[in-house]
Structure 1
Amino acid sequence: MFKSLRLTNFKAWKDTGKIDLAPVTMLLGTNSSGKSSLLQSLLLLKQTVRSPDRTIHLNLGGDEVNDLFSFGDFDSVLKHGADSPRQFSIGFDFNRFDDSRVKAGSLETFYGKTSSGSVAVQQMKLNTDAREFRAVRRDRGAFSIFVDDEVQPRFKGRNYAPERSISFSADAIAELDQDGALVEDLSLSIRRELEGISYLGPLRRKPERDYAWNKSKPGDVGSDGSNAIGALLASALLRSEEQNYIVEGVSKWLKRMKVAEQLEVRQQGRSNRYELIIHRDGVACNLRDVGIGVSQVLPVLVVAYFAPVGSTVILEEPEIHLHPLAQSILAELFVSVSKERNVQFIVETHSEHLFRRMQTLIAKGTAKQRDVSMYFVKRRGAQALLQTLEVDEFGVVGNWPEHFFGDSVGEARQQAMARAKRMQGRANG
């Protein structure tokens, strides 16, 4: 689980400061304010650690099949007008809940631009249990390796360049002797944390009328939810202790949202093709024939149950095409599944209904204050600013940005005044 995040000179962010991340973290704010950039920083590191080239410092993307985003070049990521030195950084703290040898630690990496125009690590810091290991770039691509608060480097050379932004080279690990095993385990924990991210973007694929199944399950749901149906088919058709676990979980929340009573996987004859059937009000319909909201929320529900236990799910606008009640139920989904499966949710949303239900869950004690973090992002000129929303134990926000969700009281007042004025006009007429 990611415990905190900090960015400097990253896109619209000069310095986010330390952003505390909870089991459920919600990002709200105006359009193009910088919310997505916060999410993209973690996704940038994820696609870097997935790169087949272990010597790469940062994978800015470009491979449409394998990469989550194409970030362009160094200057596209660096905040406009960044002071010298022209560097940006990404850092985070984490806790692991699996069998990793290193259970907690942090990574902070600073990036600069080389004379050839590529992105290169300028400094990488790895921390755990009051130990710190640093790789600092020198001239001509050489790196010096420092341990703890030592002033002089242990060693330096071009063969000590960091790999994939998160780990020391094999030569550096060997030179560190006993500390080398700790650095290797720490890097492995960081890699697992990043690889465990499941990302679902705001644009989800429309459903097909039927699907072929190759008797396997996908690695993830895909950033557009394209593999969500494959995950459902595998859940329904592969025999295991968790058979139908995802299907039943999805059906439960569709019912809570009052958009369906049950989800069914139905085989077409004896072929390898299957259709998804939505049951509602005694009628069974193909997924293709029901409202777009069902198909758009389906990947959100699937990823909540398909993501590995202990992993992080990043969602952009999960509420798209849902009616108000269904949007509000998403808050209950995040809180419930986070507790049930130890899955972290980082959610970027514009939904007032989702936010208001989260306030209600805190007021009822269903969600604890420590389990939910909420932030408001806004722009001041070219700079993004982050405001922590102060939510008390009764779900009341003490510093809510004015008019973000509109002025419901003001609207009601204007309606009453307009109604009174028109009625008076009719009486006088």
Structure 2
Amino acid sequence: MSDKYTLQLENFRSIRDATVEIAPLTVIYGANGSGKSSLIYGLLTLRNFFNNPAQNVPSLFSYPTISLGGLREVIRNHIEDAQLSLSLTVLGEDRASRVWLSIANFGGQVGVEFSGPNRDFQPAYMSLDIPFPYRGDQQTSVRLNLATSDEFAHLTAPPAYVNWNGISVGLEQDEYGVDPSVLVRNIRNANSPMGLARSVGFVPLRRGFATPVYSVSNVTPTLASDVEVASLLATDRFLEYSVSQYLESVADRQLRVRMQVGTSLFNLDSVPINGGVPVSIVNEGFGINQLAHMLTICLYGDTKLVAIEEPEIHLHPSMVRKLVHAMAEIATERDKRIIVSTHSETFVLALLAQIADGKIGVDDVSFIFAEKEDGESTFTKQEATQDGQISGGLRSFIASELEDMAILFGEPSETS
């Protein structure tokens, strides 16, 4: 049974309070300005903090291609003395762990709570009040309430304590009277949402690769530039093979990394499989270029959860359908979570067709309808059925289609 991931946001941009379960393939759709991107930006804020907590608040709200500003710009309704909160929960069959980050005008709080198998573990809770930037120099601890079959065991066994520095959970002392493997499992469980936050990949709405020649560079956890993404391909041939295979299945092209002998320079080339002239990937169209970039981030081993803004941009509808097939396979067969923000009816319908065809299960897909009313964003989960239907219909697409049909059949429009 796969773990369940849940993202919660409070007072973040236009979101007052929203909780979204992240399925292997989560699709968020709705009108412009409905708050779709805010879910992604909330995840990226957690990623920024847990990869580098020693940042000021505006840096936490800075992502590839966009910087949202400081707390006053980001917090809901720009209320100066309010507090925003972000949390990420990992729920397993017999364990759970949640981490949260709160940001206010003069500091914040970071905390973790976790539990293990009911028979031997009771929930533990730790939190710290922190400044920004935070240097990771504070600590709190808690005694683990590990029950045993012997009701008097706790009187003779040394207690087991774990500590929390706002970044990770660790053992506080070496002597403990319980099976070390139990502690290791529970500490791993406690750290799972922080690890998930660090492993978030992001594909922004931009052209992917920007130059015909790259030099191998260091790769950071945030993969902030096309140079870093290109360097992944140059240093991991198995990643290159996987990206090339999926690029071929979607766009009838293969990807080739060509090192320049004696240097750290290399080229990324696109090779048509049905003849044609190979070109540098930068000389491909926007859609093919971004597709190769997107697949690299999705298939990179260190990314467990990938957020993608409008992957359909500059792709022909037939290619969008193939992309959906590829994403469904990556999500289910490679144990990835993919969040897609989209305006494409073709994308949504292709995914419903995959469900109806039995290629992906209804439990592996989540459709989230975003809408905004009176300045507040809400997110409604729409259940899909085995035959490819969706509860409530595709409201944001159907409304515009009905308006066009009314015009075509001679009904007066609201603006006439």
Q: 1:80 pairs with 70, 77, 95, which one?
A: 77
Counterpart in the other structure of 2:40: 39
Classify the secondary structure of the residue corresponding to 2:57.
coil
Alignment of 1:14-413 (within 5 A): 14-16=16-18, 18-51=19-52, 53=54, 60-62=57-59, 70-80=67-77, 86-95=82-91, 104-109=95-100, 111=102, 113=104, 117-121=105-109, 124-129=111-116, 131-135=122-126, 163-164=165-166, 167=168, 173=172, 185-213=188-216, 218-219=219-220, 222-235=223-236, 243=237, 245-258=238-251, 260-268=252-260, 271-280=263-272, 281-283=274-276, 284-308=278-302, 311-404=304-397, 407-408=400-401, 411=404
Q: Is the 8 A contact 2:58 2:69 kept in 1?
A: yes
Q: 2:96 corresponds to which letter in structure 1?
A: G
Determine helix, strand or coil for the equivalent of 1:44. helix
Call closer, same or farther: CA 1:385–1:409 in 2, change over 3 Å.
closer
Identity percentage over the alignment? 21
Contact 1:25–1:372, Cα closer than 8 Å, also in 2: yes
- State the alpha-carbon separation in 2 of the partners of residues 316 and 198 from structure 1: 12
Are 2:9 and 1:7 equivalent residues in the alignment? Answer: yes
In structure 2, C-alpha distance between the alignment counterparts of 1:74 and 1:65, rounded to whole Å: 11
CA distance in 1 between counterparts of 2:142 and 2:97 reads: 17
C-alpha separation in 1, matches of 2:14 and 2:68: 13
Q: How many Å separate the matches in 2 of 1:388 and 1:7? A: 16
**Does structure 2 retain, via aligned residues, the 8 Å contact 1:205–1:224?**
no
How far off is 1:407 after superposition?
4.4
Deviation track 1:177-204 (CA, whole Å, cap 9, x = no partner) reads 8899677544433322221222222224
Q: 1:279 to 1:108 in 2, by over 3 A?
A: closer
In 2: Cα distance, 1:234 partner to 1:297 partner: 20
Q: CA deviation at 1:357?
A: 0.6
- SS of alignment partner, residue 276 of structure 1: strand
Q: Is the 1:125–1:134 Cα contact (8 Å) retained in structure 2?
A: yes
Length-normalised TM-score, structure 1: 0.73
> What secondary structure is seen at the aligned counterpart in 1 of 2:76?
coil
Normalising by structure 2, we get a TM-score of 0.76
Q: Distance in 1 between matches of 2:262 and 2:99?
A: 54
* Counterpart for residue 151 of structure 1: none
Q: Which runs of 5+ in 2 are unaligned?
A: 132-137, 146-161, 412-416
> In structure 2, how many angstroms separate the alpha carbons of the residues matched to 1:39 and 1:65?
12
CA distance in 2, matches of 1:14, 1:197: 23
How far residue 91 of structure 1 moved from its aligned partner, in angstroms, is 2.3
Tell me the alpha carbon deviations over residues 93-148 of structure 1, each in whole angstroms, 9 at most, x when there is no partner. 2158xxxxx984222536363xxx42221x7341222533334679x999897988
Residue 24 of structure 1, CA deviation: 0.9
2:150 aligns with: none
Contact in 2 for aligned 1:312/1:345 (Cα 8 Å): yes
Displacement of 1:345 after TM fit?
Answer: 0.8
Deviation at 1:66, TM superposition (A): 9.2
SS in 1 for 2:371: strand
Contact kept in structure 2, 1:51 and 1:59, CA below 8 Å: no
Structure-2 change in CA distance of 1:77 and 1:107 (3 Å) = farther
Preserved contact between residue 255 and residue 269 of structure 2 (Cα < 8 Å): yes
CA drift at 1:364: 0.6
The alignment partner of 1:227 has SS state of: helix
Structure 1 CA distance for aligned equivalents of residues 144 and 261 of structure 2: 65
Could you say if the C-alpha distance between residues 221 and 80 of structure 1 is closer, same or farther in structure 2, counting changes exceeding 3 Å? closer
CA distance in 2, matches of 1:187, 1:45: 16
Deviations 1:349-398 (A, max 9, x none): 22221111100001111110000001011100210011111211111112
CA 1:416–1:270 in 2, change beyond 3 Å: closer, same or farther? farther
How many residues end up aligned between the 2 structures? 376
Q: Is the 8 A contact 2:257 2:268 kept in 1?
A: yes
Partner amino acid, structure 2, of 1:379? K
Would you say the 8 A contact 1:197–1:312 is kept in 2? yes
3-state secondary structure, aligned to 1:404 = helix
Contact 2:61–2:70 (Cα < 8 Å) also in 1: no
Gap change, CA 1:252 and 1:112, over 3 Å in 2: closer
CA–CA distance in structure 2, aligned partners of residues 342 and 144 of structure 1 = 33
- AA aligned to 1:278 is S
CA spacing shift, 1:290–1:382, aligned 2, 3 Å: same
Give the Cα separation in 2 of the matches to 1:61 and 1:163.
Answer: 22
Paired with 2:235 and 2:302, the residues of 1 have a C-alpha distance of: 15
Letter in 2 for 1:87: Q
RMSD: 4.0
Q: What's the CA shift string for 1:139-158, capped at 9, x where partnerless? A: x999897988xxxxxxxxxx
Distance of aligned partners of 1:133 and 1:77 in 2 relative to their CA distance in 1, 3 Å threshold: farther
Distance 1:306 1:110, change over 3 A: closer
Partners of 2:214 and 2:227 within 8 A in 1: no
Deviation at 1:23, TM superposition (A): 0.9
